[in-house]
Amino acid sequence: MQPISYNAMGNFNQVFSNQMNQINNDTMTLQGGVERTILPEKIEQDPQLKSDLKLLGNDGAGKVANDFQTALGNSLKDLNTTQRNAEVALETFATGGDIDVHQVMVSQQKASLSMSMAMQLRNKAIQAYSEIYRMSV
């Protein structure tokens, strides 16, 4: 029987090198220097991925950023409108205007829920930014 030699570090280095070589062979660079590990055959087989990558390659990132900016601006305008409507309803009720108590309460709750949702979205955005900032490249 032949003695078996076991070199844990050597085996680890060999497996690690093989894995890194495989990753490097599969890795390609997109426009802008972003790396991906998607083989061209996979792109051809997935029409949704193909269209998404095409959008990103044709200044799609700028379009997405503009769309996000527009959506965020519209959401903040809606939040402001909801807050203002609640204030107007409260002022109308306080001055003896023609408004029911339940309408005032509903508008106050809408404003409160809208503000809570906006704060949660802000917190999640900050958390995502912090995570991306901490990523090592």
Structure-derived torsion over alpha carbons of residues 32, 35, 40, 46, reported in degrees to the nearest 10: -90
Tell me how far apart the alpha carbons of residues 59 and 63 are, in angstroms, rounded to a whole number: 7
Tell me how far apart the alpha carbons of residues 60 and 44 are, in angstroms, rounded to a whole number: 19
pTM, rounded to two decimals:
0.52
Tell me how far apart the alpha carbons of residues 89 and 92 are, in angstroms, rounded to a whole number: 5
DSSP 25-38: HH-EE-TTS-EE--
Residue pair 37/19 in contact by the 8 Å Cβ criterion:
no
Tell me how far apart the alpha carbons of residues 136 and 33 are, in angstroms, rounded to a whole number: 16
φ and ψ at residue 98, rounded to 5 degrees:
-85, 80
**In the chain, domain spans:** 39-134
Residue pair 102/59 in contact by the 8 Å Cβ criterion:
no
* pLDDT value, residue 50: 74
Q: What is the pLDDT along the chain (137 residues), one digit of tens a residue?
A: 555 555 555 555 666 666 666 655 554 444 444 555 566 677 677 777 777 777 666 555 667 677 878 888 899 999 999 999 999 999 999 999 999 999 999 999 999 999 999 999 999 989 998 988 888 76
